[in-house]
Chains A and B, each alone.
Chain A
């Protein structure tokens, strides 16, 4: 049970001076998954990561990593020993060279892999003797990722790993991540607001909005469940009320009625037919549209 889910939270809350950053977040991250943690800026992604890694104390609720409670100082040390983390500031020292930063980091981790270090140095084309202060943003990210990967961690926690990278560098980073996950079978938990990359490499997702998880599950199940049903009428679209479950949102625009469903599209189609449309179109929904519809509901 403890190892089935690498990360688990239940009703997790975090208030900073008057701000409710997390408002009852519930998450379950299965071992071996590449888990995309999606949300708009300010949705609570970074706060969640800080709580998981013992950098912030939750106000209430529970959170465990590897089955260990995040609040206990001893287990937090153990969690961080087994976790590779790349945060927003990348944790690099400007005064060091690339090689120096690598040697310094390696000295803390007995499981450090020299083989991986050489592989990723070559692959990311990192200039070993260059000073960190002279690295481009893309190189800083790649170096931070190298430092996290070479530790042979059981869990990688990455906070917006590709922010500020160009498309080629983004692809390099994602490719390294899927290759690494396939080789080591480690769990990857990465926050992002880049839907395309989550769509590409995640097998599980959670969408967090205003401190709560509003959608979570296997990405393939989400893709299979969501449908957009578009009805065209020969008159203004009726103000229809659907009783079938799974209706997420109904939009009316002129002669078109557009229904986003999260399950049971067939039943909704049956109901829709009764309204007498001239055409009914059922289409898959891209994650981007699911995201936009899900996080916009409270506006």
Chain B
């Protein structure tokens, strides 16, 4: 799997890494029980700070996304399997919440946000029927 944090985006790298791991799990690129790269190899591969990788892993463990097994490394949490649907919805909710927060920060009103979501879904449906 390929993680690619962008150091110059202004978004903390550990947050980007967390998002990319979650995304890999959502798309199935990472499955429950899969082992994540070790802190050192991943830091070296991505040429980022090892403390940053460690922080992302700690936060992912805290969120229940991965398990850190003593001495063995980091693994995608098994719980993801049974609760696939709820996990997916919860992940979706996180994404929506983040998007809504961002929109509100930009001064978009609730009514406008609702319209934007509906317009986007409508656009997708229209595109789907055409293709």
**A contacts, CB < 8 Å to B:** 32-34, 171, 174-175, 178-179, 181-183, 195-196, 199-203, 219-220, 223-224, 226, 265, 269, 273, 277, 279-288
Contacts and interface: CB of A to CB of B under 8 A. Distances in A.
A60 to B, nearest CB: 34
B51 interface: yes
A182 B39 contact: yes
B129 interface: no
Contact of B107 (A182, A280, A286): A280
B44 A224 contact: no
A226 B10 contact: yes
Interface string B73-85: 0000000000000
A181 B51 CA distance: 10
B47 interface: yes
Interface of B: 7-14, 39-40, 43-44, 47-52, 55, 105-107
Given A32-B51, A287-B10, 16 more contacts: A34-B49, A178-B43, A178-B48, A179-B40, A182-B43, A195-B8, A196-B8, A201-B47, A201-B48, A202-B49, A203-B52, A220-B12, A226-B10, A269-B107, A284-B10, A288-B8
B106 A280 contact: yes
A286 B9 contact: yes
B105 to A, nearest CB: 5
Contacts of A285: 10
30 contacts: A32-B51, A34-B49, A34-B51, A174-B47, A178-B49, A178-B50, A179-B40, A179-B44, A181-B49, A182-B39, A182-B40, A183-B40, A195-B8, A200-B7, A201-B49, A202-B49, A203-B49, A203-B52, A219-B12, A220-B13, A223-B12, A226-B10, A265-B105, A269-B105, A277-B107, A279-B106, A281-B107, A283-B10, A286-B9, A287-B8
A277 B39 CA distance: 46
Contacts of A33: 51
Contacts of A269: 105, 107
Contact of A181 (B10, B14, B50): B50
A201 B13 CA distance: 10
Contacts of A282: 105-106
Please list the 10 inter-chain residue pairs (A to B) with the smallest Cβ-Cβ separation, ordered nearest first: A284-B10, A182-B50, A280-B107, A182-B40, A220-B12, A179-B44, A199-B7, A200-B7, A203-B49, A282-B105
Contact of B44 (A178, A220, A265, A287): A178
A87 B49 CA distance: 22
B61 to A, nearest CB: 18
A283 B11 CA distance: 10
B108 to A, nearest CB: 9
A192 to B, nearest CB: 13
Nearest to B105: A282
Contacts of B11: 223, 284
Contacts of A181: 49-50
Q: Which of B8, B10, B55, B107 has the most CB of A within 10 A?
A: B10
A175 B40 CA distance: 11
B3 to A, nearest CB: 14
A283 to B, nearest CB: 7
A279 B44 CA distance: 42
Contacts of A195: 8
Nearest to A282: B105
Q: Give the residue among A32, A196, A220, A273 with the most B Cβ atoms within 10 A.
A: A220
A286 B8 contact: yes
Nearest to A202: B49
Nearest to A183: B40
B13 A175 contact: no
A223 B14 CA distance: 11
Nearest to A277: B107
Nearest to A231: B107
A16 B23 CA distance: 55
B67 to A, nearest CB: 21
A183 B40 CA distance: 7
